[in-house]
């Protein structure tokens, strides 16, 4: 009876060293190939990225404005510290700060009783002087006739003529006093000398004012004056009639317009500059006297390459446009200039004839092909 060889049978179920090594290498290769597959797919996708559709425009040259930037201060076109012309107690104040007034409008009233009595007395004095002057004229006529007939002496004639002259002068004095009294009555109503806005009111009801006492201040604020300091080196850029643009801190980037009306004829020795004045319309009263302004003067216009405003992208790194060169996007850093009618001047980075993307989307990137 035959007995199986156990040693040989066990050898059939054992794994040889060379077989185990081969299996390990196969597993590692599979893992490596599996890890590389996504990258290979991504690279293939990148190489086959579809062209982007864009709209383009050719860069052209247009006359664009050139500005000089200066600083200035706004002031009222006219301002007045209104003073009383008569003495008296304040009976009424008719204005408050910020109130608009018209030229000739009454802003305060004084007690006019004394002035009214003085005016009445002056009128009576005029009537009396008229009567005395009429009697004196009759005496003069009679005296002249007597003198012509040698009926009175020279001394008597001179006395009569002197009385006639005195009567005429008394009448003129009475009429002058009547005018003064009438003015005092009118001056009891204190009026604004101009159209404007009340800045301050200095008196109250019950106070006593004298001639020259300040009653209120009034400012004419439409238009305003813009006083600009022009350095000596920039004097050649300014002239009367030149348009100006200004900004004030209160209204951010909003611009206001004005026109140069006056340029000082002399340079100030100490500061080496001159004063220029512009007229700034202010119909809504948004600008206030005393505001500090940043001023731009339109010096000239010069042809410059221009692009649509939407074609320019700005961020913290600067401004850029996307040109199309040989069917690909070419990103360019540019220096932007002034803006006018939806176009922006480009001082550096593009030239006339370049094709640029008019409204670049997020898909527009440097190097990407276009349809």
In the chain, DSSP finds a helix count (H) and a strand count (E) of 4, 18
In a domain, 352, yes or no: no
Contact between 203 and 58 (Cβ < 8 Å)? no
Residue indicated by tokens 């059939």 = 12
In a domain, 150, yes or no: yes
Strand partners, 297: 68, 244
Domain range enclosing 144: 112-187
In a domain, 117, yes or no: yes
Residue 163, domain CATH: 1.10.287
In a domain, 122, yes or no: yes
Q: What is the pLDDT along the chain (371 residues), one digit of tens a residue?
A: 334 444 333 433 444 444 444 455 444 454 444 444 445 444 544 555 789 898 999 999 999 988 888 999 999 999 999 999 989 999 999 999 999 999 999 999 999 888 778 888 888 888 888 888 888 888 888 888 888 888 888 888 888 888 888 888 888 888 888 888 888 888 899 999 999 999 999 999 999 999 989 999 999 999 999 999 999 988 888 889 988 999 999 999 899 999 999 999 999 999 999 999 999 999 999 999 999 999 998 777 889 999 999 999 988 888 999 999 999 999 999 999 888 888 999 999 999 999 999 989 888 889 899 88
In a domain, 254, yes or no: no
Cis status, amide bond into 87, omega within 30 of 0:
no
- What pLDDT sits at residue 39? 52
In a domain, 359, yes or no: no
In a domain, 55, yes or no: no
d(CA 247, CA 268): 26
d(CA 184, CA 186): 5
Q: How many domains does the chain have?
A: 1
Residue indicated by tokens 């009891």 = 188
What are the φ and ψ backbone dihedral angles of 54, each rounded to 5 degrees? -135, 155
In a domain, 141, yes or no: yes
């Amino acid at each position: 009876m035959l007995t199986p060889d156990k040693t040989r049978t066990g050898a059939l179920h054992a794994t040889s060293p060379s077989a185990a090594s081969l299996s390990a290498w196969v597993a590692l290769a599979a893992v490596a190939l599996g890890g590389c597959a996504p990258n290979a797919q991504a690279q293939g996708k990148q190489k086959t990225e579809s062209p982007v559709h864009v709209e383009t425009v050719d860069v052209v040259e247009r006359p664009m404005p050139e500005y000089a930037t200066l600083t200035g201060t706004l002031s009222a076109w006219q301002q007045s510290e209104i003073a009383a012309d008569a003495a008296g107690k304040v009976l009424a104040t008719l204005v408050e700060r910020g109130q608009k007034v018209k030229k000739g409008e009454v802003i305060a009233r004084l007690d006019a009783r004394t002035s009214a009595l003085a005016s009445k007395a002056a009128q009576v004095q005029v009537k009396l002087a008229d009567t005395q002057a009429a009697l004196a004229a009759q005496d003069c006529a009679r005296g002249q006739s007597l003198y012509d007939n040698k009926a009175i002496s020279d001394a008597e004639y001179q006395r009569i003529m002197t009385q006639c002259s005195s009567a005429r002068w008394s009448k003129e004095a009475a009429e002058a006093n009547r005018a003064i009294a009438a003015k005092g009555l009118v001056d009891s109503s204190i009026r604004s000398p101009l159209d404007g806005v009340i800045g301050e009111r200095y008196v109250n009801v019950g106070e006593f004012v004298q001639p020259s006492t300040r009653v209120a201040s009034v400012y004419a604020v439409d238009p305003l004056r813009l006083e600009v300091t022009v350095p000596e080196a920039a004097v050649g850029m300014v002239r009367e009639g030149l348009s100006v643009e200004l900004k004030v801190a209160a209204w951010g980037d909003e611009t206001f317009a004005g026109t140069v009306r006056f340029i000082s004829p002399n340079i100030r020795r100490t500061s080496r500059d001159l004063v220029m004045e512009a007229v700034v319309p202010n119909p809504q009263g948004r600008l206030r006297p005393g505001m500090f302004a940043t001023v731009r003067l339109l010096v000239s216009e010069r042809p410059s390459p221009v692009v649509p405003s939407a074609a320019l992208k700005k961020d913290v790194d600067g401004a850029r446009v996307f040109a199309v060169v040989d069917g690909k996007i070419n990103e360019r850093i540019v220096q932007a200039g002034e803006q006018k009618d939806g176009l922006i001047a480009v001082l550096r980075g593009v030239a006339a004839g370049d094709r640029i993307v008019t409204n670049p989307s997020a898909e527009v990137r440097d190097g990407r092909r276009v349809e």
